[in-house]
Structure 1
């Protein structure tokens, strides 16, 4: 079964605007862009569903040329649809962020008013466990302790989990952000990459700084 993402990947080189919009068809952020699917289907003489369109793209040697021409003929409308899609995506991301921030603030308020120390105790536990796990990992590495690969893999996974939980616990008290979430994911990926730390002479993967351009939200 084909998807609009498959169609977009096929036509993107000849019709970049159509290719950028089609993956949004049928999604919350892509509401209102189904007209693009109709434009493509009309140009190919098929019904506006991804399976029919993909069949035409595979079987009609002139299909890509038709899609390209359809884009040229509808440039103004497509530009407006693309803009609407970006606005929909931004609105969806904003709603998600606001809901996440509201949830964190509610949890903080409850912890303060109820004098509940559960979150703080968990933060201490995650932090201590993380440092103990890292210390054990370093000792195994430096002392060349023979360890079963399954056990070593478990340690790597545990490090990744503890890094994520420690960062999340810190965000609970200091305020979280999407860039912090991205950084936690990168740390977790680094910690769980097989051989990144334990293989002699191995080069650790570079941890890129979170891009503020990809995440317009800062702070909680």
Structure 2
């Protein structure tokens, strides 16, 4: 999952970013509404965590634009107001969920993962391929009934491969979706993670290396 945090309080934004990364959720920051719209225009985000009171383009307008032009991006709206009419207004703008400040970080994580369970209809909530089952919500992987213990990055990479449904996933895509914008484009992290993921899944190997392109899943 990749998240954009649109929040003008830098300390809060950076604290949320650090916490989400620890939960294996890639997170970027935009400090105003203009930057948020610019980032969403060029990067494929899964969720926008949106402060309603942003400088520049107001958070309400950001929500309208994102809901209209990027319907695949879920919106969690943050606000200091907790009145019912404020919440209703946020949902009317296109928000999928709502959090009033102050909020517990753990609650934000739960809500983000709940939103991730509501992907487009073509992508099932539980992903399966050749005996491998991945549950994004419970963060569990099984192969032929055997529990497979994965690191957070291994889990994120396997989820990308399963969602690709046999298509090739490039190292660049892995860096974008399982790491974040600060990852070194020359890093060997995707290759190393792929190697350890193969070992964790066991034999027969389901992951095929496509020379010069990336990786895909194939039934043995």
TM bin (shorter chain)? under 0.3
The structure with more strand, counted as a fraction of residues: 2
Q: Greater RCO between the two (CA within 8 Å, min separation 6)?
A: 2
Which structure features the higher share of helix residues? 1
- TM-score for the superposition, normalised by structure 2: 0.24
